[in-house]
Amino acid sequence: MFDLPLVTILLLTGFINLIGALAYAARIAGVRTRRIAMSFALFNILVLFSRTSNSFLGPFLAKRIETRIHDGSGASLFVDMQFVLAAASVATLVGILLVPTGQRMFAAAIGWYQDNRSTTKLALKAASPSGLRTLRRSLRLPSLGHLRGWHMPQGIGWGVLIANCLAQSLLAVGVVASLYAGYLAPEYRVTASQLSALINGFATILLFAFIDPQLSVMTDDAVEGQVGEADFRRAIALISLSRLAGTILAQALLLPAASLIALVAVHV
């Protein structure tokens, strides 16, 4: 039977994670065009879209859990939540594959905005026939050629990649785990739903205090020529892959995170 609520949740989850993965393309476009401030503005627009969409995801998931509890089919909720996290992984992978296309689209958008200086006109331009033609011309698949003679890029180490993987896994699982904890402790499910910060707070600090500064410094080094463009693209690829690994790890963390949140909800 077609499950429209679940499909809606999966599509929304996919959109959020697709946008998040494509946002890395804005940094590559900024290095190529030497318009770092403008590329960061586009990056922030994507993050805004992603976070706004994420605010709608919580109520959909909460409704799913309430419905399952009321009709006595709560045992299948764990599978539903795993589907949600799997959708995040699939969308992230698609976003990684579309980074070369996104990079060219961002470069075109930066050039167009430099002449017109209007976000509204830029959005209308993207939806116009000429914008669609630009999209068609920009379509590219990732090239494996830059992996020849592969080495770890300067400025990005295994510590950054592992930290990013952990942060992304916690961000992916935070809201889902807090809502699933409401099923594990139904009498405290309102409290549990408010405890996603227990998971997301640590991930946000890790991401914005330790990982983003490393990537920003490397972006500046690439613009100044201290890091080659190929090395910078390779670093973005590794960061993107660590994000993908994080969404996969989130599936393993779902039950432990939900159990922790349920325990805190009961004893807070």
- Going by C-alpha positions, the residue among 229, 230, 231, 236 that lies closest to residue 33 is 229
pLDDT reported for residue 149: 54
Write 6-9 long-range contacts (CB < 8 A, 24+): 6/64, 6/80, 6/83, 8/60, 9/57, 9/60, 9/61, 9/64, 9/84
Question: H or E element: which one contains 5?
Answer: helix 4-33
- Per-position b or e across 209-243, b if 16+ CB within 10 A of its CB: eebeebbeebbebbbeeebeeebbbbbbbbbbbbb
Task: Report pLDDT digits (tens) over 49-58.
Answer: 776 777 778 8
146, pLDDT greater than 70: no
What residues does each domain of the chain span? 4-141+157-267
97, pLDDT greater than 70: yes
**119-123 mean pLDDT:** 76
Q: Any idea which residue has 């017109």 for tokens?
A: 116
Task: Report pLDDT digits (tens) over 200-236.
Answer: 888 888 888 888 888 888 888 888 888 888 788 888 8
pLDDT reported for residue 87: 95
pLDDT reported for residue 232: 85
Task: Report pLDDT digits (tens) over 3-42.
Answer: 788 888 999 899 889 988 888 888 888 888 888 877 777 7
Is residue 63 within 8 Å of residue 137, measured between CB atoms? no
**Helix, strand, coil in percent for the chain, rounding step 5:** 85, 0, 15
Q: Any idea which residue has 């764990």 for tokens?
A: 78
Q: What is the DSSP letter of 144?
A: S
pLDDT reported for residue 214: 84
- Cβ count near 112 (within 10 Å): 18
pTM of the model: 0.86
Task: Report pLDDT digits (tens) over 47-91.
Answer: 777 767 777 788 888 888 888 888 877 788 899 999 999 999 999
- Going by C-alpha positions, the residue among 171, 168, 165, 169 that lies closest to residue 57 is 171
pLDDT reported for residue 26: 84
Task: Report pLDDT digits (tens) over 243-263.
Answer: 999 999 999 999 999 999 999
Q: How many residues are present in the chain?
A: 268
**157-172 mean pLDDT:** 90
Tell me the percentage of the chain whose pLDDT exceeds 70: 95
